[in-house]
Amino acid sequence: MTTPSRVRAAVLLGCLGTVSGLAIPAPAQARTVEFPQVPAVFREGICGTNIRVWADTDPQWAGRAIFNVRALPIVGIGPGEWSFAPVCETVTTVAWRNLTTGAVGEYRVNVEAGLYGSLQYAQYQDTGPGRIDVTAYTDTINIPQHGSFDVPAQAAPPPAAVAPPPASTPPDALAPGLEPAPDPEDSE
């Protein structure tokens, strides 16, 4: 009796799936923390939307975080010929304070948004390791939002490489019962 080809294919794919599952390395410890959205009014018309703000951290970027800002789609009326498809702007600030070290800083960016929202604006900030408090706000009418997250310290260095064992030297004598092969040049 032969095995149907569908069963063979299923067994093969199952084995490959198991092997590939074993070969996947452990996930990195990267982390994303999103803060409450900042409701804001934008300039260049009567426009408004919410602004998303979040931070990305990873032990590989010890003492640093990436701050991200992105506006959701604009609602409102703008000036000019395309008043119902406005492009409006506001300056968004993400002010941070490291509660562990006392360091302070800010990420300030001019956010332009339209019917599809805005681009994603992002920048590394040297916050130092520790607990970071964040306040996000704009330079127009808005409701500031607060949040916090942790920045990891320096990742542990990888373990030192183990030196290979010294090369073995050939034994002086052969084991009992073993004879060396005759040298072809000796037979002449």
pLDDT, tens digit only, all 188 positions of the chain: 555 566 555 555 555 555 445 445 545 578 899 999 999 999 988 899 999 999 999 999 889 999 999 999 999 988 778 778 888 999 999 999 999 999 999 999 999 999 899 999 999 999 999 999 999 999 999 999 999 999 998 755 666 666 666 665 555 555 566 666 666 666 65
pTM of the model: 0.66
* Pairing of the two strands 121-125 and 145-151: unpaired
Q: Which residue type occupies 109?
A: V
Q: How many CA atoms lie within 13 A of 187 on its CB side?
A: 4
**Longest CA span, the chain:** 107
Extract the tokens encoding 125.
């900030």
Collect all residues with Cβ–Cβ distance below 8 Å to 40 and sequence separation of at least 6: 48, 49, 50, 51, 90, 92, 138, 140, 141, 142, 143
